[in-house]
C-alpha cells in the first residue's frame, strides 16, 4: 500500500510526487509520458527557467521525482474505489492501493460514446488483459484513442476471431487486424453490446474495447463533485471526497505550468499532513 497515489503524470502530478517525497511519504505516479507540456515548443513564462522546451521541462520534473524516490506505473487508471481507510485504483488487470489520492488528470476530459456507460461490463471493456479471454474466438471492435491501443489490439488479435480497429493507434498492428476509418458514434445493444454505429453504418461485434489516454471523471470516480468540466476543490485542493485531492488543469483555468505545480504542491502537503 502506498501513502499517496497520484493519477496523471504531468507538472501537477510530478510536483505532488516531489513534495510528498519531501515529507517522506511513499508515492506512486500513474500515467504516461504524454502530458500537454511535452507539446509546448518553448515555455517562456515559468519563473527561473526561461525559454526551456516543454519536453526538457517535463523530463527534468520526472527525473527529479524519480531521484527523490517516487515510483511510476505506466497506464490509465480506469476506476477509483473508496474502501474506508484507503482507495483501490484499477490499472489494467492490477489494483494499486493508497491511503490518499491526488487527481492530476489534466484538462482533456474524453467524452463517452452513447451506450458506453450503460453497457460497460456488458460487452464494453476498457481492458484487454482483464476481459480479453471473454471474447476468445469472437469478433471485437477496438476504439483506439490512447498510446496503449496498438499493444492491446495485438493482444486481442491473439485471442479473438476478428479484431477491427477504429482510429490510428501508435505502433504496428498484427496483420490479422482490420482497420476501419469510420468514426465510432454509438455503441449498440440493450442489455449487452451487439455492435457499433460508425460513419452512419451499424456493424455487428461481440465486444467493444475502448482504449483512451484519460477517463471521464464520471467513470473514474463518480462521487467526486464537478464544477462544470472541472473538479471542485477548496484552498487545500481537497475534493468533496475525504482523502481525494485534485490539482492542475483538471481543477480549472488558467492552464499554466506554474498553477499546476503550485496546486500539486499544496495537495501533496495537505495529503501528507493528514497521514499519521
Ligand X SMILES: Cc1cc2nc3c(=O)[nH]c(=O)nc-3n(C[C@H](O)[C@H](O)[C@H](O)COP(=O)(O)OP(=O)(O)OC[C@H]3O[C@@H](n4cnc5c(N)ncnc54)[C@H](O)[C@@H]3O)c2cc1C
User: Which residues contact ligand X by CB under 6 A?
Assistant: 7-13, 30-32, 34-37, 39-40, 43-46, 76-77, 104-106, 213-215, 220, 248-249, 255-258, 260
Q: Distance (Å, rounded) from C-alpha 158 to C-alpha 64?
A: 39
Overall size of the chain counted in residues: 276
Q: Pick the closer one to ligand X by CB: 9 or 165.
A: 9
Q: Quote the least distance from Cβ 215 to ligand X, whole Å.
A: 4
Q: Pick the closer one to ligand X by CB: 10 or 123.
A: 10
Q: Quote the least distance from Cβ 180 to ligand X, whole Å.
A: 25
209 membership: H or E segment, kind and range? strand 207-212
Q: Pick the closer one to ligand X by CB: 177 or 267.
A: 267
Q: Quote the least distance from Cβ 67 to ligand X, whole Å.
A: 19
Residue whose grid cell is 496498438: 150
Q: Pick the closer one to ligand X by CB: 57 or 198.
A: 57
- Of 104, 21, 99, give the one whose Cα is nearest residue 66: 21
Q: Quote the least distance from Cβ 212 to ligand X, whole Å.
A: 8
Amino acid at each position: 500500500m502506498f501513502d499517496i497515489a497520484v493519477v496523471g503524470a504531468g507538472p501537477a502530478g510530478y510536483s505532488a510526487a516531489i513534495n510528498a517525497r519531501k515529507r517522506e511519504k511513499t508515492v506512486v505516479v500513474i500515467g504516461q509520458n504524454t502530458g500537454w507540456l511535452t507539446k509546448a515548443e518553448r515555455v517562456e513564462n515559468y519563473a527561473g527557467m526561461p525559454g526551456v522546451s516543454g519536453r526538457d521541462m517535463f523530463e527534468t520534473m520526472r527525473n527529479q521525482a524519480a531521484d527523490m524516490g517516487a515510483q511510476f506505473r505506466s497506464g490509465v487508471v480506469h476506476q477509483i474505489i473508496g474502501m474506508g481507510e484507503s482507495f483501490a485504483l484499477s490499472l489494467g488487470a492490477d489494483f494499486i492501493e493508497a491511503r490518499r489520492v491526488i487527481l492530476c488528470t489534466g484538462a482533456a476530459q474524453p467524452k463517452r460514446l452513447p451506450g458506453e456507460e450503460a453497457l460497460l461490463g456488458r460487452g464494453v471493456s476498457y481492458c484487454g488483459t482483464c476481459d480479453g479471454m471473454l471474447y476468445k474466438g469472437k469478433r471485437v471492435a477496438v476504439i483506439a484513442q490512447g498510446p496503449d491501443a496498438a499493444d492491446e489490439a495485438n493482444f486481442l488479435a491473439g485471442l479473438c476471431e476478428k479484431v477491427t480497429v477504429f482510429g490510428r493507434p501508435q505502433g504496428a498492428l498484427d496483420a490479422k487486424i482490420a482497420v476501419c476509418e469510420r468514426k465510432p458514434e454509438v455503441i449498440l445493444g440493450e442489455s449487452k453490446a451487439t455492435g457499433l454505429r460508425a460513419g452512419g453504418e451499424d456493424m455487428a461485434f461481440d465486444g467493444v474495447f475502448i482504449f483512451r489516454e484519460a477517463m471521464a471523471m464520471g467513470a473514474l470516480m463518480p462521487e467526486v463533485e464537478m464544477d462544470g468540466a472541472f473538479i471542485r476543490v477548496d484552498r487545500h485542493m481537497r475534493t468533496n471526497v475525504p482523502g481525494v485531492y485534485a490539482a492542475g488543469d483538471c481543477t480549472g483555468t488558467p492552464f499554466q505550468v506554474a498553477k499546476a505545480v503550485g496546486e500539486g504542491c499544496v495537495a501533496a502537503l495537505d495529503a501528507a499532513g493528514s497521514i499519521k
